[in-house]
Amino acid sequence: MINALEALSRLQEGNKRFATGIRSLDTMLSQAHKPDLVAGQAPFAVILGCSDSRVPVEIVFDQGLGDLFVIRVAGNVVASSQIGSVEFAAESFGTRLVVVMGHSRCGAISATLDAIRNPECKNTRGLSSIVNRIRPAVEELIHEGEDEATLKHRAVRSNVRMAAQSLRSGSELLERLILNEGLLVVGAEYSLETGLVDFFDGVPAEMRTEK
């Protein structure tokens, strides 16, 4: 298994290809390796992303079958089942990079802002369970008197940071892997506008991409 920084670099290169409209030959050819994947998988990264139809993870990173272990839930929130999924991949496959990826114009973030501003509007129990997980990340931003676009941008990032931190400290297994086995949990934001992913949280200095 490749280490976390090699995995991060592979994601950055794949996203660059996607954003510039190049589809990698390797990715297309990986369809031909389908029979190899029957025996098992060795995904090089775990991605916790949003369910938004505009952010299909394998496509925005230009990766193929068997490359990524993907968990998608509206608002890329971290509940027990998400922690369990990350634990499963890290323990079973030795995957050493975990990315929490939010995105611009996220509907779950907007729904949370709406719920905070209009407490009398009742969401369903299911939707509330998502909104209530995002709420602590955005609640304190709301009073800072910024314009709506800036507020949403900051809220997306704050929610990613909180989710990444929940993974780093929410499981004894993951804590041990971080401490002893080089597991890295980073936060990122996908831009619908540019197609680029900015890895902005928890990335070692030498790996930071220029904006």
Give the annotated binding-site residues for Zn(2+): 50, 52, 103, 106
Site for Zn ion in 145-164 (CB under 5 A): none
Q: Nearer Cβ to Zn ion, position 71 or 183?
A: 71
Site for Zn ion in 68-127 (CB under 5 A): 106, 108
Q: Nearer Cβ to Zn ion, position 116 or 173?
A: 116
**Cα–Cα distance for residue pair 51/53, rounded to 1 Å:** 6
Q: How far is the CB of 182 from Zn ion (least distance, A)?
A: 29
Q: How many residues does the chain have?
A: 211
189 part of the interface to Zn ion, by CB under 5 A: no
The two tokens of residue 47 are 């991605």
x-or-dash string of contact with Zn ion, 19-58, rule CB under 5 A: -------------------------------x-x------
- DSSP 3-state assignment of 147? coil
- Which residues are part of a known binding site? 50, 52, 103, 106
The two tokens of residue 183 are 């597991």
Q: Under 8 Å CB-to-CB from 69, ≥6 apart: which residues?
A: 41, 43, 45, 46, 47, 85, 89, 93, 95
Q: How far is the CB of 93 from Zn ion (least distance, A)?
A: 26
Q: How far is the CB of 57 from Zn ion (least distance, A)?
A: 12
Q: How far is the CB of 159 from Zn ion (least distance, A)?
A: 10
Would you put residue 39 in left (φ > 0), alpha (ψ -120 to 50) or beta? alpha
Q: Nearer Cβ to Zn ion, position 109 or 177?
A: 109
Coarse DSSP helix, strand, coil percentages of the chain, rounded to the nearest 5 percent:
55, 15, 30
Would you put residue 98 in left (φ > 0), alpha (ψ -120 to 50) or beta? beta
Give the interface size with Zn ion as a residue count (CB under 5 A): 4
Closest by CA position to 68, among listed 146, 10, 131? 10
Q: How far, in Å, are 5, 39, 188, 195 from residue 175 at the CA level?
A: 18, 29, 20, 32
Q: Nearer Cβ to Zn ion, position 89 or 106?
A: 106
Q: How far is the CB of 51 from Zn ion (least distance, A)?
A: 7
Q: Nearer Cβ to Zn ion, position 108 or 160?
A: 108
Contact residues toward Zn ion (CB under 5 A) are 50, 52, 106, 108
